[in-house]
Amino acid sequence: MADHLTQGPIEGQTSPVSPDASLAPATFLPKQMPSPELSFPGGINPAVRALVEDLPEPLRTAVIAALNTPGGVRITMGNAKGGVMKTTLSVYIALILSLTGEPVLLVDADDTNKTCLKWQAAAGEDWPASITVVGYSGPAMAKQVTDLMARGFKHLIIDVGPTDKGVLKTAWMLTKRGIVPTQQHVGDIVQLTTTFNLLKEMGEPIDLSVMLAKSFPKRSSYGNAREYILGLINGQSSDHPNGLPTVGLLDATVPLLEGIAETWGSIPDEFGHFSTVLAETLGVPSSVIAEREAAWQKMTEEQL
Ligand SMILES: Nc1ncnc2c1ncn2[C@@H]1O[C@H](COP(=O)(O)OP(=O)(O)OP(=O)(O)O)[C@@H](O)[C@H]1O
Ligand SMILES: [Mg+2]
């Protein structure tokens, strides 16, 4: 299925982009995302600062970017397609945010599967006290989340199920920002149009970052999927002839790894790919993330 993408333009794509993936820009961000400060904010609790300083890269960069995000981090994980890592991303990113020492609200807005709630229950006492998980509460969700955030939560992650489009729009209204995880298979990426059509129904701009999830970065279908998505963003598809000015495609990806699936229901001890996704979503350029990671690795090797 994945390699169907190598066989030429896909329905809906009127002007195919260059067949040479190396000619395509590594990152295309039509929106001008301001890069957050990457130094510790003044007034940070010294104990939290010491813990964050000790974190490996790119986790440290992601946590510092979160600490410097005005008003806290608010992200909806949503895509009209199922099984694309929405819940896994929600839990991992909520766990990364808890390292700021600030309270995190994780909304399980997938009333059918309730997977975040099940993950929290399975983790038992290992679940961090600073992350509160609440279930979807029907049409009252917007008010419930707004009221809870006013009670002192700093960060907000909403995990939306694949079927309820109204819930996805409500979640986007609450966070104004989203990650759209998608697999690189043609059957998955053509469904992005359903999600982007919902975006066009929103009355205000919502920043969306598309992320290739459970990916195989070395396969040609990976580069083809990126080109297809950039074509959608750039208005080269009859589905979105005016382009998608508030949508970007992350360089960061989370590969298909059995080890990640096996962390379900527990608290993972490795956040590498997820940290890169969070830092880039918050506006840290991927080159800066890579430089900081390389410098940290060099320093760690020198200390051995
Ligand atoms: N990077 C990965 N590599 C391998 N398996 C993964 C990865 N990420 C998630 N999985 C597994 O893929 C399955 C689907 O992931 P997840 O539940 O996060 O997707 P979802 O988009 O929330 O699905 P749904 O639409 O059903 O809510 C799960 O079994 C999960 O453990
Ligand atoms: Mg889910």
Using an 8 Å Cβ cutoff, are 71 and 288 in contact?
no
b/e map 221-237, b = 16+ CB within 10 Å: bbbbbbbbbbbbbebbb
Q: Is residue 139 part of a domain?
A: yes
pTM of the model: 0.90
Nearest CA to ligand 1 atom 29: 261
Exposure of 230 in the CB half-sphere (CA atoms within 13 A): 20
CATH of the domain at 119: 3.40.50.300
Instruction: Return d(Cα 211, Cα 250) in angstroms, integer.
Output: 5
pLDDT of 16:
35
**Any residues with Cβ below 6 Å from ligand 1, and which?**
82-88, 110, 113, 115, 161-162, 214, 254, 256-257, 260-261, 264
Q: Is residue 14 part of a domain?
A: no
Q: Is residue 130 part of a domain?
A: yes
Using an 8 Å Cβ cutoff, are 158 and 171 in contact?
yes
Q: Is residue 15 part of a domain?
A: no
How far apart are the CA of 143 and the centre of ligand 2, in A?
A: 22
Which has the minimum average pLDDT: 9-23, 72-86, 94-108, 157-171?
Answer: 9-23
110: containing domain: 26-303
162-167 — which CB contacts under 8 Å span 24+ positions?
A: 162/79, 162/80, 162/81, 162/82, 162/83, 162/86, 162/110, 163/80, 163/82, 163/112, 164/109, 164/111, 165/80, 165/198, 167/109, 167/111, 167/136, 167/141
Choice from 88, 90, 210, 270 to test ligand 1 binding pocket (greatest atom count within 8 A of CB): 88
Q: Is residue 59 part of a domain?
A: yes
Q: Is residue 18 part of a domain?
A: no
pLDDT tens sequence across 255-292: 999 999 999 999 999 999 999 999 999 999 999 999 99
How far apart are the CA of 159 and the centre of ligand 2, in A?
A: 7
How far apart are the CA of 287 and the centre of ligand 2, in A?
A: 30
Whether residue 90 has pLDDT greater than 50: yes
Q: Is residue 9 part of a domain?
A: no
Q: Is residue 55 part of a domain?
A: yes
pLDDT tens sequence across 190-223: 999 999 999 999 989 999 999 999 999 999 999 9
For residue 76, the Cα-to-chain-centroid distance in whole angstroms is 8
Number of domains in the chain: 1
Neighbours of ion ligand 2 (CB under 5 A): 86-87, 115
Average pLDDT, the chain: 90
